[in-house]
Amino acid sequence: MSTTVTTPSWYDVLDVAPEASEAEIRTAWKSAIADLDPSDRRFRVLNQAAEVLLDRKARRAYDAELAVAEPETDADADAETDEETPASTPAATTRRTGWVPAGWLLVAVAVVAALVVGACAAIYAGGTSEATVADATRQAQAAAERAIVPVLSYDATDMAGSQQAADAYLTADYRKEYDKLFTVLEENAGRTGTVVTAQVVASAVVRSGDDRVSVLLFVNRPTTNKQVKNPVVYKDQVTVTMQKVGDSWLVDNLVTSPAAG
C-alpha cells in the first residue's frame, strides 16, 4: 500500500497560513531572510516564495493549483531528486532528475514542441496565422534569454546600475514587484559584497502566443562575496512570462526553482 507524501507549499516555506494577508507574508519573508547571506540556498527559496505570494495574480493561480493538486505517492517521491522545492506556479518545473541531462532535454524539447504546435493550431483556428505566432514566439524566447541576464545579475558595488539595467526589461506591473524584492536584496548585498552574473545555458518555449509567451530557461549564476572569492555556481530553472508591449517583449513574471546539480 502506498502512502501519501505531502510536498511543502510556499506558505509552509514562509511559515504563514494560506489565508495570510500580504502584510503578514511580507513581514514573515523579511524576518526569514534577515540574517541570511544572498548566496545561501535558503535565501533564494524564500525569495521565490515571496515572488509568488506577493504577486496577486501569481498567488491566485498558485492557490488554484493547490486546490486541485493530487497527493503524491511513494513511487512519485522516489523519482524526485530534490524534495526541497515546493509546488510552484502552473508553468514552473517542480520535478527534476538532474541539471539538464541530455535524455531529459530531448524529452522536454519533444513535449514543448507538441505544446507549441497545439497552441499554434488553436490560435490559427481563431484567426491568427501560425506563422505570426511562430515569429512572435521566437522573438519572445530571444528576448527572455537577453532579459534574464540583467534581471538575475547584480553587483554589490553598483546596485543602482544593476537595478536600472534590469528595470529596462520589465513590464510596468512586474517592475513594481521586482523593485520591492530588489530593495531587500540591496540591503543584504551591501553587507556581504555579493556579485552575481547570470548565464543562460538553454531555453525552451512552454506556452506560445502572439502577445504572451512562457519560456523555460536553464540558468547558471556564478556568485562571489567577501568570504567567497572563487565563484560558486548556482543552477536554476526559471519560468519567464513574456508580454508584448508595443514593439518590445518584456518580462511580466518569473518563477525560479533551484535545479539539481
- Domain locations in the chain as residue ranges: 4-258
**Out of 178-187, 221-230, 251-260, least confident range:** 251-260
More confident residue, 117 or 39: 39
240 in Cβ contact with 217 (< 8 Å): yes
The reported pLDDT for the residue numbered 30 is 84
- 80 exposed, middle or buried (CB, 10 Å; 0-12, 13-18, 19+)? middle
pTM above threshold 0.75: no
- Three-state DSSP at 7 gives coil
pLDDT > 50? residue 213: yes
The reported pLDDT for the residue numbered 142 is 95
**Out of 48-57, 67-76, 114-123, 159-168, least confident range:** 114-123
Mean pLDDT of 152-157: 94
- How far apart are alpha carbons 89 and 20 in whole angstroms? 18
pLDDT > 90? residue 69: no
pLDDT > 80? residue 108: no
**Out of 9-18, 62-71, 89-98, 167-176, least confident range:** 89-98
pLDDT > 50? residue 121: no
Cα torsion through 32, 37, 42, 47, rounded to 10: 70
The reported pLDDT for the residue numbered 260 is 52
Question: Residue 94 — very low, low, confident or very high, per pLDDT cuts 50/70/90?
Answer: very low
Q: Where are the beta strands (DSSP E) in the chain?
A: 4-5, 72-73, 154-155, 195-196, 199-207, 212-224, 232-245, 248-258
Mean pLDDT of 5-34: 86
The reported pLDDT for the residue numbered 256 is 86
The reported pLDDT for the residue numbered 232 is 93
The reported pLDDT for the residue numbered 7 is 61
- Three-state DSSP at 254 gives strand
Neighbours of 227 (CB within 10 A): 10
The reported pLDDT for the residue numbered 115 is 46
The reported pLDDT for the residue numbered 130 is 80
Buried b or exposed e, range 133-170, using 16+ CB within 10 angstroms: bbebbebbbebbbebbbbbbbbebeebeebbebbbebb
Which residue do the cell numbers 506556452 mark? 207
What is the CATH code of the structural domain delimited by 4-258? 3.10.450.230
Mean pLDDT of 84-104: 37
The model's pLDDT over 127-138, given as tens digits with 9 standing for 90+, comes to 567 888 889 999
- How far apart are alpha carbons 93 and 10 in whole angstroms? 14
More confident residue, 185 or 109: 185
